[in-house]
Amino acid sequence: MHAIEKILMKNSGKSNIHTGEIVNAKIDFAEINDLYLQTVYSFYEMGGQKVWDNERCAFVFDHYAPCPDIKSAENHKAMREFAIKNNLRFHFDTNCGVCHQVMPEAGVIYPGMIVVATDSHTTTHGAFGAMGTGCGATDMATILMTGELWFRVPEIIEVRLDGKTQKGVYPKDVILAVLGKIRADGAVYKAIDFTGSYVEGLNVAGRMTICNMAVEMGAKTAYMQPNSDVLEYVKKRAVRPYEVQYTDPGYKYAESYTFDVSGIEPELACPSSVENVHTLSSVVAEGEVKINQGYIGSCTGGRVEDIAEAAKILKGRHIPEYTRLVVIPASREVMLECMTRGYISDLMNAGATISTPGCGACLGAHEGILAPGEVCITSTNRNFPGRMGSTEALMYLASPATVAASMVYGKITDPREFLN
Amino acid sequence: MQKVLTGKCIVIGDNIDTDQIYPGRFLAITDPKEIGSHCLCGVSEDIAGNFPEGGFVVAGRNFGCGSSREHAPIALINMGAVAVLADSFARIFFRNAVNLGLLPIICKGINKHVKEGQTLTLDVEAGTVNVHETGEVFECEKLGDQAMKILEAGGIKPMMRAKFAGK
Ligand code: SF4
């Protein structure tokens, strides 16, 4: 039996479970972000009165932090009122950061749990050996009322990542290379278990980046067996006791893919689809790609490790005139750490604009929107038309190092040029 | 719920994500009719205003991929769509659609065959789509028991209301 199945089995109170079965499982933590006031509406429309457990659900105000307009301010106000009325133990207002970063930091994410959030990138929490999955507002309202949600026990795909990456190649490059092979719908309704020696040695931030983008292949959830870095991280933070689940030896996956990460180069997802992945070298070989804006941030590429790589490259350099680089740390904790380490001043001296921890322009809400015809290179996770503003803007997804390197000349540039 | 539905269709492509169905810049809107008026504007601004009431959206693979926003099915319903017929659906979109009473029907290859403006009849129980103009009949996948249970209750809201009414 797989660890994910064991989690589902335990939370649905069953003694056995099989693929394809529909189970009602208890939710250990539920998170609603600030796009989903509909959750509150649906809750009352369905006759909800009080949340099932005031210690197991929270709002995170990340997409509109701080509010860019009256409408989002009204939404926050209504959500705050709901949080106060229900006496929620956890609340993440506009001073915290992106939900998938602030939840682990606050210790509400730990191995063996089920976390459901009104956000597709909830697959991120597989990095901690948790089962994380996204849902819509009304599904979330049913959780707030009952503490449960129905799931179909998914097929599980193994993505085995072995070997060591070359210098200048980051977890973001690895997941882009995987996505280019498995494609945007390669794992729809399924779970992805990332295994292999590369994953075993990977730090928390790198694990989160990879699990985060599992949803770009359609995955319901992602999983990585916790390693010592993860256990260290959660030991200091977890707000309740937890039990790590392990996959039984000899478990048979629905499908298996194997990648030798040592062959992966800096990669790009070119406009305008996450599966349109090419090596950076092949893209620039076809001609120079000029950049108007670089963007470093989000639940994919806005952690300390990401900003560190950018600062390393940009320290003592300056972005060209008439270009801009927006850097948005994923959380307050991340930003404080980056300040302590001097990355924020290095980046500001290089010409970067630093903005409030949160989602920012990742989904085109504010803080770095693109005009028609503009080109952006970004450490985020989606480049669909219109994702960061105009439907006529073009987005290249890349590692934070590639974004930083590209901002040195204002054109897509291989980060390895700066790493010797 | 109605199990045999007839209406005109529009035809769009693969990987139509939630940003194309309902762009992020409109997410703060809460009025359903206004949400519907922006539906599919990431594909074309002309779709929502001209959509045939009670019609079908026909698409390729991975319809509704991207974010978990419920605005996507809310927009489709309020634009006037009763069903989406596609090669495959992203999982969260599928759940959201069922919860709100929009039919997500897997009908492989249909978007390569039907044309904008044709009239289709979907028979949910038989699992067929009939194209009036050409007489072609497509097989589609039947919805699972859990999805049917929710749809027959009129969506998850009436279902939960009934469940909680006694408490
Ligand atoms: S950072 Fe981007 S991808 Fe992550 S939750 Fe925010 S909007 Fe979504």
Q: Please state the pTM of the whole predicted model.
A: 0.94
Q: Does B96 touch chain A (CB under 8 A)?
A: yes
pLDDT tens profile B60-73: 999 999 888 999 99
CATH fold label, A269-418: Aconitase; domain 3 (3.30.499)
CB B66 to CB A120 under 8 A?
A: yes
Please list every residue in chain A whose beta carbon sits closer than 8 Å to the beta carbon of residue B147. Answer: none
Over residues B55-59, mean pLDDT: 98
Please enumerate, as own/partner, the contacts of A48-54 that have beta carbons within 8 Å and a separation of 24 or more. Answer: A48/A141, A48/A144, A48/A145, A48/B164, A50/A86, A51/A86, A51/A88, A51/A144, A51/A145, A52/A143, A52/A144, A52/A145, A52/A146, A52/A147, A53/A147, A54/A86, A54/A87, A54/A88, A54/A89
Per CB-CB distance under 8 Å, the chain A contacts of B61 are 185
Residue of minimum CA distance from atom 1 in ligand 1 = A298
Which residues lie across from B7 on neighbouring strands? Answer: B120
Q: CB–CB of A142 and B20 under 8 A?
A: no
C-alpha R_g of chain B: 15
Number of A to B CB contacts under 8 A, please give it: 127
Q: Which amino acid appears at position B138 of this protein?
A: F
Q: Which atom of ligand 1 is nearest to the CA of A62?
A: 6
Quote the ligand 1 centre to A347 CA distance (angstroms): 22
pLDDT in tens, chain A (420 residues): 999 999 999 999 999 999 999 999 999 999 999 999 999 999 999 999 999 999 999 999 999 999 999 999 999 999 999 999 999 999 999 999 999 999 999 999 999 999 999 999 999 999 999 999 999 999 999 999 999 999 999 999 999 999 999 999 999 999 999 999 999 889 998 999 999 999 999 999 999 999 999 999 999 999 999 999 999 999 999 999 999 999 999 999 999 999 999 999 999 999 999 999 999 999 999 999 999 999 999 999 999 999 999 999 999 999 999 999 999 999 999 999 999 999 999 999 999 999 999 999 999 999 999 999 999 999 999 999 899 999 999 999 999 999 999 999 999 999 999 997
**Strand duo A57-60 + A352-354: pairing:** unpaired
**In chain A, what residues touch B160 (CB-CB under 8 Å)?**
46-47, 141-142, 145
Per-residue pLDDT, B151: 95
> What is the token pair recorded at A190?
């399924």
Mean pLDDT for B12-22 is 94
Angle subtended by helix axes A37-45 and B156-165, to nearest 10 = 50
Task: Please check whether residue B38 touches A, CB under 8 A.
Answer: no
Q: Cα of A124 to ligand 1 centre, how many Å?
A: 11
Q: Which of A210, A4, A230 is nearest to A121 (CA)?
A: A210
Contact A335, A329 (CB under 8 A): yes
Distance from CA of A361 to the nearest CA of B (A): 10
Closest-CA residue in chain B for A213?
A: B66
What pLDDT was estimated at residue B106? 96
Q: B53: which DSSP letter? A: T
Amino acid symbol at B21: I
CA distance A109 to chain B (A): 20
**pLDDT score recorded for residue B166:** 64
Please answer yes or no on whether B99 and A47 come within 8 Å at the CB atom: no
For ligand 1, is residue A298 a contact (CB within 6 Å)? Answer: yes
Homologous superfamily (CATH) for A3-239+248-259: Aconitase, domain 3 (3.30.499.10)
Whether A359 lines ligand 1, by a CB cut-off of 6 Å, is yes
Instruction: Give the neighbor-by-neighbor strand order of the sheet with A156-162.
Output: A221-223, A191-195, A156-162, A255-260
The answer to whether the CB atoms of B42 and A391 lie below 8 A apart is: yes
Q: Is A348 in the pocket of ligand 1 (CB under 6 A)?
A: no
- What ipTM does this complex have? 0.89
Tell me what pLDDT residue B28 has: 80
Q: Which residue has its alpha carbon closest to ligand 1 atom 2?
A: A362
Domain assignments of chain A as residue spans, ordered by start? 3-239+248-259, 269-418
**C-alpha atoms less than 13 angstroms from C-alpha of B88 in its C-beta half-sphere:** 15
C-alpha–C-alpha distance, residues A299 and A124, integer Å: 8
Whether B167 has a pLDDT exceeding 90, the answer reads no
Task: Give CA–CA dist A9/B106, Å, rounded.
Answer: 29
Q: In chain A, which residue's Cα lies nearest the Cα of B19? A: A387
> Cα separations (Å) of A364 from A61, A67, B68, B76, B99?
16, 14, 15, 21, 27
By three-state DSSP, how is residue A326 classified?
Answer: strand
Q: How far is the CA of A135 from the centre of ligand 1 (A)?
A: 14
Nearest chain A CA: its distance from B108 CA (Å): 14
Give the whole-angstrom CA distance, residue A325 versus residue A352: 5
Residue A130 Cβ contacting ligand 1 at under 6 Å: no
Evaluate whether A3-239+248-259 and A269-418 have a shared fold: yes
Under an 8 A CB cutoff, do B23 and A364 touch?
yes
Q: Ligand 1 in contact with A299 (CB < 6 A)?
A: yes
CATH hierarchy code of domain B4-165: 3.20.19.10
- pLDDT for the residue A397: 98
The one-character DSSP state at B111 is G
- Which residue(s) pair with A195 in the sheet? A160
Alpha-carbon distance of A299 to B159, in angstroms, equals 35
- Max alpha carbon distance in chain A (Å)? 64
A119 C-beta closer than 6 A to ligand 1: yes
Taking only the tens place, the pLDDT of each residue in B85-142 is: 999 999 999 999 999 999 999 999 999 999 999 999 999 999 999 999 999 999 999 9
Structure tokens at B45: 């601004």
